[in-house]
């Protein structure tokens, strides 16, 4: 059975943890630390919430942060509501549990805990929303009475700008950011998908998989990372830092049992499924179905036997919206 989107996003956490460019992340947290608190952060396409967990666990958020997390997939939001309270337990936080935020588990004691921990000064006020992050109306249309206005000091868009209309996303982000606000866009795909050991069909499969991102999928593109670098100045942003953040997944050594770390076998199953689904879109005169089946079944067997390694190239970018 193929992994669900939520299992994939959960399994991706440790792969991203290794991949994230520490220089770009370090500059991002330095810039966030300079913002008047509470820093207002909005995350677009937050999936099951792994970025906020990571930033809290790694101490990369300002002492007081208001964090607005937006995803259009209600199932992602449901999983995030389940996992985030426990994951953030070790950090100092408060979940905003108004009725319409839908926390199933507002956890009696969360506020008491926070009150105690606030003696140490750290807090995250978190709201989760099911919405289209690219709709300016949806982004601006919120109850401002308790939350302040909908402007942000920083927008985070992780593994997001490569699957949406990049220009539209940058324009929406520029709309909600304060002048001088930050855009942190890590894990933006940039044109390389590779496997080891090599297979004679690799080059064709990679080319068609990327062509699917560019020409067949509704939005996004296979070279979004480098396009982002050129689109930022055109949309009023100055790039503060950029660096590579490659996904590299491989089985542990024979001494360590040749298993994949954490849930990364599930991550690779999902990657192979995504590629297979993309390749099915091609007619037989572009890709012989027998070639597709041969390549995919070989890669699945190698995964089953813990012989498969994978590399995916991404770019992490930190940019600042120029003042007016």
List contacts with ligand SAM (CB under 6 A): 9, 12, 44-47, 50-51, 70-73, 76, 132-134, 158-160, 163-164, 187
Closest CB to ligand SAM among 110 and 169?
169
Q: How many other C-beta atoms lie within 10 A of the C-beta of residue 144?
A: 10
Encoding tokens for residue 32?
């966030």
Least Å distance, CB 315 to ligand SAM, is 14
Least Å distance, CB 195 to ligand SAM, is 20
Least Å distance, CB 113 to ligand SAM, is 26
Closest CB to ligand SAM among 118 and 192?
192
| DSSP string computed for 215-229 | IISSS--TTHHHHHH
Q: How many other C-beta atoms lie within 10 A of the C-beta of residue 115?
A: 11
- Alpha carbons 297 and 235: distance in angstroms, whole number: 44
Residue nearest to ligand SAM (CB): 45
Encoding tokens for residue 122?
């750290």
Closest CB to ligand SAM among 219 and 297?
219
Closest CB to ligand SAM among 110 and 161?
161
Beta strands in the chain (DSSP E): 39-44, 64-71, 94-95, 123-130, 152-156, 177-196, 237-244, 247-249, 309-321
Encoding tokens for residue 278?
């993309």
Least Å distance, CB 165 to ligand SAM, is 9
Least Å distance, CB 50 to ligand SAM, is 5
Closest CB to ligand SAM among 123 and 245?
245
Contact 141, 133 (CB under 8 A): no
Least Å distance, CB 6 to ligand SAM, is 9
| Residue for token pair 């199932």 | 75
Closest CB to ligand SAM among 247 and 295?
247
- Alpha carbons 280 and 237: distance in angstroms, whole number: 39
Contact 258, 165 (CB under 8 A): no
Closest CB to ligand SAM among 15 and 296?
15
Least Å distance, CB 218 to ligand SAM, is 10
Encoding tokens for residue 62?
């300002």
Least Å distance, CB 155 to ligand SAM, is 12
- Alpha carbons 62 and 36: distance in angstroms, whole number: 9
Closest CB to ligand SAM among 164 and 287?
164
Encoding tokens for residue 300?
């699945």
Closest CB to ligand SAM among 35 and 79?
79
Contact 39, 154 (CB under 8 A): yes
Which residue in 189, 124, 158 sits closest to 28, CA to CA? 158
- Alpha carbons 81 and 301: distance in angstroms, whole number: 35
Inter-CA distances, 204 with 182, 199, 224, 292, 303, Å: 38, 10, 20, 10, 20
Least Å distance, CB 55 to ligand SAM, is 12
């Amino acid at each position: 059975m193929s992994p669900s989107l939520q299992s994939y996003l959960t399994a991706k956490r440790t792969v991203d943890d290794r991949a994230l460019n520490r220089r770009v992340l370090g500059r991002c947290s330095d810039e966030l630390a300079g913002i008047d608190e509470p820093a207002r952060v909005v995350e677009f396409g937050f999936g099951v919430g792994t970025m906020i967990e990571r930033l809290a666990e790694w101490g990369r958020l300002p002492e007081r942060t208001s964090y607005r997390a937006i995803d259009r997939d209600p199932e992602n939001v449901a999983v995030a509501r389940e996992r985030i309270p426990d994951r953030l337990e070790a950090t100092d936080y408060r979940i905003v549990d108004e009725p319409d935020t839908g926390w199933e588990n507002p956890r009696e004691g969360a506020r008491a805990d926070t009150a105690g921990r606030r003696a140490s000064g750290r807090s995250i006020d978190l709201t989760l929303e099911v919405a289209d992050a690219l709709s300016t109306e949806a982004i601006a249309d919120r109850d401002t009475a308790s939350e302040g206005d909908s402007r942000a000091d920083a927008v985070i868009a992780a593994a997001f700008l490569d699957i949406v209309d990049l220009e539209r996303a940058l324009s929406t982000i520029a709309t909600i950011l304060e002048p001088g606000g930050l855009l942190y866009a890590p894990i933006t795909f940039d044109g390389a998908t590779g496997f080891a050991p090599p297979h004679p069909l690799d080059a064709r499969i990679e080319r068609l998989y990327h062509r699917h991102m560019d020409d067949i999928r509704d939005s996004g593109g296979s070279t979004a990372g480098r396009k982002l670098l050129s689109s930022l100045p055109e949309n009023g942003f100055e790039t503060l830092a950029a660096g590579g953040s490659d996904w590299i997944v491989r089985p542990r050594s024979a001494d360590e049992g040749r298993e994949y770390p954490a849930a990364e076998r599930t991550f690779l199953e999902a990657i192979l499924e995504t590629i297979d689904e993309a390749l099915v879109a091609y007619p037989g005169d572009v890709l012989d179905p027998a070639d597709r089946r041969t390549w995919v079944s070989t890669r699945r067997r190698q995964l089953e036997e813990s012989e498969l390694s994978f590399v995916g190239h991404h770019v992490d970018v930190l940019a600042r919206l120029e003042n007016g």
